Structure 1
Amino acid sequence: MDWKPEVFKALSSDDDWDSWFTEGSTAILREDTKSSYVAIILATRHDDAAESEECHNPMLLSYLPFSYRTLDKIATELSLHGSMVRYINRGHAAELSRTYLNMGTPSRPAIVYNCRSSNEWPGDLAMSITYFIESGTTHAIVYGCNPEVKREITGRLGNAEGTTRHPLLLVGIFAEIERKRHFKMVTRRLEKLLGFVSMLGSYSPGQANLQQDVEDDESPIDPWLDASHMKNRLETWRSQLLKMTQHADELPARCWLHEEIDVRNRVEEVGQRIKERLEQIIIDYEEKIRELEMIMEGTNLATSLTHTKTNIDIALSTKRDGSQMKSIALLTMVFLPATFVASLFSMTFFQWIPEDSDQTVSPYLWIYFVVALGLTLLTVGLWYLFANNRKVRLDDNVDLEQGTGLKKSVSDLSTFKTKPFAKSSKKSM
């Protein structure tokens, strides 16, 4: 049950793999059906210098560091299930699965695990595990390993302390690696959303357009959509981890009843520790999901407040414009009658000064002021009466809930005259 990383080799080409197969290393693993050990292959991730969260190839994991012939040979020699190819190509959603099968040569009971992280962000992984129940042996291959992931896996296996016999050991390591990757992305999205909320909180309708404060290649709604999508993916991964904790409860009855009591108790104790760690990881995910929900609700609130500020500013501007238009209309009503009278009296229909007179100012000038003033007062008075009489007047005993107290009832405003139902029913009889 010891972990010996020194037996592993770095194989970089198909020739190296052929030499390794020829040496009989895999035959030793295949023929040893009694010992308990972990045999794991760490497949290097395809190098893409341009890979980032903004520029990520979701199918990068399918670029294997060896040929499909070598992959088929590895699957045969290490008794790995071929369903992993389907999980690699279908990585839009994370998944953890387990299946009870008979694997190996000779065929013996085994548990096949397939672990796949979401390929929507860089650093996605895939793992195929075959755990032989009788011997406690684990054969596995991990796809998409960068140097950091390789150090993480080998370091955790080196500190396993006798837990290599448990089938969920590698699943737990996979969950730890994903936890670190996910939480880094969540932190970046929370910082971006907090900056966006802060920008919304300090936004004033009198300032420049909000779009100018956001990056040129990013819409203001993109951070919210990104965080919402991240929350959904975390909930999916949380449900997969919950499924593994439920699977941990069924392992003692299906795997170790044939073992001695000491071995069974030791393995069950390891399984309990792994299950508790998975449950703690689930709690950590729930906390991150709540943080995302809280900041998303804060974004919605900040957006609503910004819209409210804008609407209030528009209402105040409209009120100011209405007051100005009212002043303009009042000035028009004051000067328009005088202008009309001046235009009328300037026509040739009237002869205010005799032709042989030397007067420059007509003695009837007062008529203009009297008529202009009278028309102005008449116009302003009619406008005032018309504007105020259009308001609905209420009685002193107004009951808005019952709808009574209006000077003009709703039935009086109706265009159609209706007849009581009782009278119409009597006529029909």
Structure 2
Amino acid sequence: MDWVRDTLGLHGSDLDRVFKYEPKATTVLCINDQAIVHEIETHEEWQTWLEQDCPSPKDCESGLVVLFAKRSTESSTSNAKQTSENIFLAGMDGEQPVQENSVQSSCPPDIKTRNHSDEKQDSSSAVARHSLRTIPLSRSTFEIIARAFYMHSSISRVISRADIPAFTHTKATMEDEHGSKHEVSVFNLRTSNAWPMDLALTVTYFPHCNLMFAFIFGCDLEIEEEILSRLRLAGNTATHPLLLPGIIVEIERRRHVQIVDDIVDEVEARIYQLEIRPGTEESMTTSQIEKLHKDKRSAWLNITYTRNCLQSWRKQLENIALHVDEVNRLLLGGYGWSSNLTTPPPTPNSYEEYPLIGKEEIPIALVQPLPEHSALCHEKSSNIYLVVGYQIKSRTLAIIEEYDDKIRECSLRIEGMAMATQWAQGETSLEIAKATRRDSEHMRSIALVTMIFLPGTFFAGVFSMTFFDWSGNSGQPVVSKYIWIYVLFTLLVTLITIGLWYYFNIYRRQWLTSNTSTV
């Protein structure tokens, strides 16, 4: 089991096997006393930032650190090394505000209007499908960042799931660089790469000091801008452990809505094509008919696969909603335990002190003392976090209801396609039955005409044979004495024909039926 590998940072095998590396400038958002956006590129710059600016759980610093790992097809946003968040967002919008002692932040003109057409064109290739694994860092840099961000090894497994969405929550004990141990909650989220622009997220949350490290895989500039904007609007509640997963859920919802709408339109177009009559296909070439049938099958497979993916993602949304309650219980109990606290933990007098939590569910945080500064912080912020948790859960449940509607919409189109196919087959069978009926009427007409002319034809043939001499020597008709040969052969051949017909069509079938029933 992987829980025995709960060590600081990722394993070397994961770094070599799961991830690929293409170093480039990377964006980091650090929210502590203020929101600062860093643009870091070289290994030396990363080391300097980690030593000087990165918060540490050892110092009981609260805040949020988010690293945006851009996709391999993305460029850097600017050459700015450090800007405030407002200036950075303005730069991404194309503005170039200038402030004293600040650096201009600008966006290249070809990046602002970028769409996902390039990635969609490459989505069928292996490079595009595994672009989430490509990290805009060198291996050595990513290794030290993984340690500084206290990444859990479970993120490697989540990243490797590829076309299967996932949301996991792991409780672990992490040891910092000073040897102090801290209890953490690790949240991993991954969207499916069945379509372009999949995302992954790992969050490591230190309850004892309200510090959170997050690493987002697969960002582009548009997603990066949206997440930064949402975090800015969140204000001092941005450090809620499930806020970033909630933002990813919103982004994924927008992607799924567009995908479902496109596939539904395609399926409806194929349903209308099912009304093509057999006579119409006669005017089409073989390649056109094969392409038409292939498109119909592809549309059915696409919408069926999409419905299955929506159902899988809906299950992950249910997990997120359930974990909101667990995070709320953690926040109700205060911040967790760390080994650098010197006061011995007291034992609670009774579990009735915590009416909202069952005896088996009381976290360690409830029975541990809080540092004075943490207690004051907790008293002011816990209620706010509970409100944010309620909002996250309410919004997640609303999105689940929306996914239920999309799943029903896909199911309706699948059933509609099956019904349209049955109708088309029924109409085809009706057309065949009508054509058969017309042929039968024509055959009856032909049979009637044959019955009218058959006696005359038969007697004309008989009397035209040489067995009859209608102008004999005596002037009287003469019948040959060998007429019996004609009669004999006619009777024999007629009897043989009727016998063979009776044997093969009646007697043999009855015999086979009786033997089969006996066996």
Alignment partner of 1:114 is 2:157? no
Alignment partner of 1:241 is 2:317? yes
Residue 249 of structure 1 deviates from its aligned partner by 0.9
CA contact (8 A) 1:257 1:264 kept: no
CA contact (8 A) 1:26 1:77 kept: no
Q: Deviations over 1:175-219 (max 9, x none)?
A: 111111111111111111122223335x33432369848966943
Q: Deviations over 1:194-252 (max 9, x none)?
A: 22223335x33432369848966943121121111111111111111111111111222
Residue 333 of structure 1 deviates from its aligned partner by 3.3
SS in 2 for 1:138: strand
SS in 1 for 2:430: helix
2:68: which partner in 1?
Answer: 42
Which has more radius of gyration? 1
Residues in 2 aligned to 1:8 and 1:217: alpha-carbon distance in whole angstroms:
54
Alignment partner of 1:307 is 2:425? yes
2:233: which partner in 1?
Answer: 159
Which of 237, 242, 245 in structure 2 is aligned with 1:168?
Answer: 242
SS in 2 for 1:158: helix
Residues in 2 aligned to 1:217 and 1:84: alpha-carbon distance in whole angstroms:
42
2:162: which partner in 1?
Answer: 91
Residue 347 of structure 1 deviates from its aligned partner by 1.6
Residues in 1 aligned to 2:229 and 2:262: alpha-carbon distance in whole angstroms:
27
Residue 336 of structure 1 deviates from its aligned partner by 3.1
CA contact (8 A) 1:5 1:154 kept: no
CA contact (8 A) 2:57 2:211 kept: no
CA RMSD in angstroms, aligned pairs only: 2.9
User: Which AA in structure 1 matches 2:43?
Assistant: W
TM-score (norm: length of structure 1): 0.76
Residues in 2 aligned to 1:83 and 1:263: alpha-carbon distance in whole angstroms:
30
Residues in 2 aligned to 1:22 and 1:81: alpha-carbon distance in whole angstroms:
23
SS in 2 for 1:120: coil
SS in 1 for 2:183: strand
Which of 91, 94, 102 in structure 1 is aligned with 2:173?
Answer: 102
1:200: which partner in 2?
Answer: 274
CA contact (8 A) 2:164 2:191 kept: yes
Residue 82 of structure 1 deviates from its aligned partner by 2.3
1:270: which partner in 2?
Answer: 388
1:63: which partner in 2?
Answer: 134
Alignment partner of 1:80 is 2:198? no
CA contact (8 A) 2:55 2:63 kept: no
Residue 321 of structure 1 deviates from its aligned partner by 1.5
CA contact (8 A) 1:134 1:255 kept: no
CA contact (8 A) 2:203 2:213 kept: yes
Deviating more after overlay: 46-55 vs 262-271: 46-55
1:390: which partner in 2?
Answer: none
Q: Deviations over 1:285-325 (max 9, x none)?
A: 11111111222222222222111111100111111112222
User: Which AA in structure 1 matches 2:198?
Assistant: D
2:330: which partner in 1?
Answer: 254
Q: Deviations over 1:51-84 (max 9, x none)?
A: 3487354222222222333222211111111221
Alignment partner of 1:123 is 2:241? no
CA contact (8 A) 1:3 1:157 kept: no
SS in 2 for 1:123: coil
Residues in 2 aligned to 1:53 and 1:19: alpha-carbon distance in whole angstroms:
33
CA contact (8 A) 2:158 2:190 kept: yes
2:398: which partner in 1?
Answer: 280
CA contact (8 A) 2:246 2:392 kept: yes
CA contact (8 A) 1:96 1:116 kept: yes
User: Structure 1: which 5+ residue stretches go unaligned?
Assistant: 365-413, 417-429
CA contact (8 A) 1:94 1:116 kept: yes
Q: Deviations over 1:243-289 (max 9, x none)?
A: 11111112222344125443221211111111111111111111111
- Structure-to-structure mapping, 1:135-150, within 5 angstroms: 135-150=209-224
Check 1:65–1:24 CA distance in 2 against 1; reply closer, same or farther (3 A cut).
Answer: closer
1:51: which partner in 2?
Answer: 120
Check 1:142–1:23 CA distance in 2 against 1; reply closer, same or farther (3 A cut).
Answer: closer
User: Structure 2: which 5+ residue stretches go unaligned?
Assistant: 1-30, 75-117, 335-374, 480-512
User: Which AA in structure 1 matches 2:161?
Assistant: R
SS in 2 for 1:51: helix
Deviating more after overlay: 324-333 vs 240-249: 324-333
Which of 263, 277, 292 in structure 1 is aligned with 2:410?
Answer: 292
CA contact (8 A) 1:52 1:122 kept: no
Residues in 1 aligned to 2:139 and 2:403: alpha-carbon distance in whole angstroms:
36
Deviating more after overlay: 64-73 vs 208-217: 208-217
SS in 1 for 2:55: helix
Residues in 2 aligned to 1:66 and 1:306: alpha-carbon distance in whole angstroms:
57
TM-score (norm: length of structure 2): 0.63
User: Which AA in structure 2 matches 1:100?
Assistant: K
Residue 42 of structure 1 deviates from its aligned partner by 0.6
Residues in 1 aligned to 2:33 and 2:267: alpha-carbon distance in whole angstroms:
44
Instruction: Using the aligned pairs only, state the percent identity.
Output: 32
CA contact (8 A) 1:94 1:118 kept: yes
Residues in 2 aligned to 1:321 and 1:4: alpha-carbon distance in whole angstroms:
87
Alignment partner of 1:21 is 2:47? yes
1:7: which partner in 2?
Answer: 37
CA contact (8 A) 1:3 1:164 kept: no
CA contact (8 A) 2:165 2:190 kept: yes
Check 1:193–1:160 CA distance in 2 against 1; reply closer, same or farther (3 A cut).
Answer: same
Check 1:218–1:150 CA distance in 2 against 1; reply closer, same or farther (3 A cut).
Answer: farther
SS in 2 for 1:219: helix
